Amino acid sequence: MDRNTLVLALKDIRIPPEAAEEYGRKAAKMAGAVTERLLARPDLESLIGKNNSEMMKDNHANHARFIESMLRNFDAETMTDTVLWVFRAYRSHGFHDSYWAAQLNQWHAVLRENLSDNTLRAVLPLYDWMQVNIPAFSALAERQKAELKGQLQ
């Protein structure tokens, strides 16, 4: 799968303003809940590497803020490029691919617990897109990293 296919998969995303508003009101609380749940995992170090708990916490807070901004002003290219950047950046700090599945599983659970049915229906397709495309993001991020490395040599 390539970047353009990922972008095109988002073409039908439409977020009602009230869904963006509700997500925004609850974003910090939800990010905290995701962090709490992941910190409780006995296998956390195998997901994020050594001494990366603070970076993980920052990722969850940044994730919530970014998703809120995307819900308010959605752009498929920005969404795709940002997720690819996040994969490259966090992998370079020792985060493993399995972290993304674990994190997104927790986001799904927290969203279901905190959002109204209407907002959940509007937001879940974006989270589903992120989750089902983890292998594609991983492969593309690795390819982009290799291309950048080749350009620098």
Q: What is the pLDDT of residues 47-83, one digit of tens each?
A: 999 999 999 999 999 999 999 999 999 999 999 999 9
The Cα 36–Cα 73 span in angstroms is 29
In a domain, 84, yes or no: yes
DSSP secondary structure of the chain: --HHHHHHTTTT----HHHHHHHHHHHHHHHHHHHHHHHT-TTHHHHH-TT-HHHHHHHHHHHHHHHHHHHHS--HHHHHHHHHHHHHHHHTTT--HHHHHHHHHHHHHHHHHHS-HHHHHHHHHHHHHHHHTHHHHHHHHHHHHHHHHHHH-
The reported pLDDT for the residue numbered 138 is 92
* pLDDT surpasses 80 at 115: yes
Chain centre distance of CA 47: 15
* pLDDT surpasses 80 at 99: yes
CATH of the domain at 97: 1.10.490.10
In a domain, 98, yes or no: yes
In a domain, 60, yes or no: yes
Domain count, the chain: 1
- Which pTM value belongs to this model? 0.92
In a domain, 67, yes or no: yes
> For the purposes of burial, counting CB atoms within 10 Å of the CB of 37, is it exposed (0-12), middle (13-18) or buried (19 or more)?
middle
In a domain, 90, yes or no: yes
In a domain, 59, yes or no: yes
* pLDDT surpasses 90 at 19: yes
Nearest to 95 by CA among 25, 58, 45: 45
The reported pLDDT for the residue numbered 77 is 97
In a domain, 152, yes or no: no
In a domain, 120, yes or no: yes
Give the domain extent around 85: 3-147
The reported pLDDT for the residue numbered 153 is 60
